[in-house]
Structure 1
Amino acid sequence: MGLSEQKLVMDMAAWAGNVSSSVMIIFVNKVLMNATGYGFKYATTLCALHYMACTISIWITQAMGGVKKVTLPFTDLLLFTATANLSIVSLNLSLMINRVGFYQIAKLLIVPFVCLVERFWLQRHFSRPVIASILVVVAGVGIVTVTDLQVENNMLGLVVAGLSVVSSGMQQIFCRTMQQKHGLSSHELLSNTAPAQGWTLMLLGPFLDRYISAAWVFNYDWNVPALTFLALSCACAVGVNVSQFMCLGRFSAVSYQVLGHSKTMLVLLGGWAFLGDQINLKQLAGMALAVVGMVAYGVASNQYATLPHMLGSFGTAKKEEV
């Protein structure tokens, strides 16, 4: 097998792992957090536990000699941690304050935001077919997810949703730029960012969850079935984070966002197949349109690929053999 074939296999494996783990964690968390399930309504604390699980998995891999120890410049680590934590908190708040339809519409805006940043900050150029295919995907997913969208006069919801778009887009761009600038693998970058995010969210989570849910996480009924689903959620989170860093290291942030809408389609199909959700003809048409857009994007991006010069303001990462 040649190098190009090996790269294709690894790319497909990274993408398949990211999609499957991302879809599975949604359904696991739905059971875990739903009032009719186990009622674990502490979203920020749950995110902290996810990152702590990732940290433990990275430490085990390092102890086995599978990953090198990496020391990122403190300013880089601080910038990434603050941006990633802001993304998580704002997304959770947006989902809580806004309707699901508006929350999904806001998330779709991450794609054009990332395009604008890569175009004007990282000097990346996109061909007209690429831009057109992105618009087709956004239109298709928009039809699927917001068929019942109702316009709300909610200024706080608008501000939080806008903050989630900016922070989420910047987090994905930082993943790629830091990996390429410092020559890091996905595991090496994650070995620095996961502990920082885990500890900061662990300190912030209980207080934020107390404000949002009016209850302390310490008072939760820690029964065995709930702990089982919590452990399964953390295991899925490890898969999501590792595969996400692998994808963002291999693909551009725009590619990750556009192709990532396949997760939305799988979630809708899973809800229809396992949870009794209804899918109407308008949603089916939107799904078909999004798939066409994804195929068109793949063709267009392969024909016209421009790799940007990454940020030069970051320091140099130091690697130490285990």
Structure 2
Amino acid sequence: MQIAIQERRRANDALAWIFNVASSVLIVFSNKMLMDPKWGYKFVFATTLCALHFFASAVAVKSFEAMGFSPKASMPFSEKLYFSCVAATSIVSLNLSLLMNTVGFYQVSKLLIIPFICLVEYVSYKRGLKSVSLFLCILLVLVGVGIVTVTDVSVSGLSVLGISIAALSVVSSGMQQILCGQIQRSNNLSSTQLLSNTAPVQGLMLLIVGPTLDWLITGKWVTQYEASIPSMQCLAVSCAIAALVNISQFMCLGRFQAVTFQVLGHTKTVLVLLMGWMFMNDVITYKKLIGMMLAVTGMVSYGYLNSLISVKT
């Protein structure tokens, strides 16, 4: 009986992960079509788009509740506001970091999210890595993804403000992922129930700051966008896929530790690069190929070793 329950749980975990990876890869290409200034629909307002994505997610989960597919549940307003503020800060600071820093430094700062999560979980919850082997796997993933994504790490263009914004993006992104699983467990909420409580608040927060932030980045206001029927159709598809991404991400963060989610999440980076090469004529150099091989080796090894340790405990 116990074995059957464990097998069912592993199957559900695998389905949640596949759901998240597939939707996350799809959203990259739908957003590229929507936002690309050369051959896409030139909707370059990233933060406003994030606000629309959260509103779409809220509509989706509220509809599930209205149809009886998902039971309603509430959470303390203070926790709802706290989580929404952290999540909104993560999105805004990531966009500002990309604006104020080089692409290379931006990518390096994103790689620091895993060490930050490890540090917080060890200090706050006494939850460290279970073996040296897992640490080496994480290091291999970081090196591989770094080789793939980091172009230049020039210090000449850095400023104190830019570094501060990058640090804020690391802290807020890491805390969002930790809080997601923690709040679900402490309030006994499902992934859709947590999303139902927080998505409308996050959407409202981002809609308030989004147009101004997008103007700072692009020099244009979202109200100046020349919409068309095809661009609005693409926007609708982007919002629909984003709802799937948010639902699946909350599912995964409720099931996996934040570190595991981050490590295996780099699967999306590798898949996006491969699909760009296969369908969009992107070039994969030997450097990128080596980086992808290292990252995949690290991810597979981490997943295998972590499953062995989980079985023993």
TM score, norm. by length of structure 1: 0.91
Equivalent-residue separation in structure 2 for 1:275 and 1:95 (angstroms): 24
- AA matched with 1:302: S
Runs of 4+ in 1 over 4 A off after TM superposition: none
Alpha-carbon distance, 1:204 to partner: 2.1
Q: For 1:28-39, what aligned pairs fall within 5 Å after superposition?
A: 28-36=30-38, 37-39=40-42
Aligned with 2:194 (options 189, 205, 209) = 189
Find the aligned partners of 1:73 and 1:260 in 2 and give their Cα distance.
29
Q: Give 1:270 shift.
A: 1.5
Verify the 8 A CA contact 2:58 2:199 in the aligned structure 1. yes
Indicate the percent of aligned positions where both proteins have the same amino acid. Answer: 52
Residue in structure 2 matched with residue 27 of structure 1 by the alignment = 29
Following superposition, the deviation at residue 305 of structure 1 comes to 4.5
1:157 is the counterpart of 2:157: no
Question: Is 2:75 aligned against 1:72?
Answer: yes
Correspondence for 1:132: 136
**Comparing 1-10 and 66-75, the one that deviates more:** 1-10
Tell me, yes or no, if structure 1 residue 298 matches structure 2 residue 298.
Answer: no
**Residues 102-181 of structure 1: pairs in structure 2 closer than 5 A:** 102-126=105-129, 127-146=131-150, 148-153=151-156, 154-155=158-159, 156-181=161-186
Deviations 1:214-255 (A, max 9, x none): 222112112111101111110110111000000001100000
Distance (whole Å) between structure 1 residues aligned to residue 299 and residue 256 of structure 2: 14
For residue 53 of structure 1, report the CA deviation from its aligned partner.
Answer: 0.3
Q: Deviations over 1:247-287 (max 9, x none)?
A: 00110000000000111101111121122221111211111
From 49, 52, 57, the equivalent of 2:55 is 52
CA distance in 1, matches of 2:187, 2:272: 35
Query: 1:229-268 to 2 correspondence within 5 Å?
Result: 229-268=234-273
Q: Deviation string for 1:138-177 (max 9, x for gaps)?
A: 111111112x324133113322221111100000000010
Looking at structure 2, the residues matched to 281 and 193 of structure 1 have their Cα atoms a distance apart, in angstroms, of: 43
Task: Tell me, in whole angstroms, the C-alpha distance in 2 between the residues paired with 1:295 and 1:175.
Answer: 24
Say which is worse superposed, 96-105 or 218-227, in terms of deviation: 96-105
What is the letter of the counterpart of residue 22 of structure 1? S
AA matched with 2:138: I
Distance 2:76 2:298 in 1: 39
**CA-atom RMSD in angstroms:** 1.6
Does structure 1 residue 18 correspond to structure 2 residue 20? Answer: yes
Any idea what SS the aligned residue of 2:125 has?
coil
Q: What is the Cα deviation at residue 116 of structure 1?
A: 0.5
Higher relative contact order (CA 8 A, sep 6+): 1
CA distance in 2, matches of 1:280, 1:68: 49
After superposition, the C-alpha distances for 1:277-303 in whole angstroms (9 at most, x for unaligned) are 211112111111111111221122223
Letter in 1 for 2:12: M
Contact 2:104 2:154 survives alignment (8 Å):
no
Kindly indicate which of the two structures has a greater share of residues assigned to helix: 2
Secondary structure in 2 aligned to 1:70? coil
Give yes or no for the alignment of 1:226 onto 2:231.
Answer: yes
Aligned residues: 305
Equivalent residue letter for 2:115: P
Q: Which segment is superposed worse, 88-97 or 227-236?
A: 88-97
Q: Check conservation: 2:102, 2:154, Cα contact below 8 A.
A: no
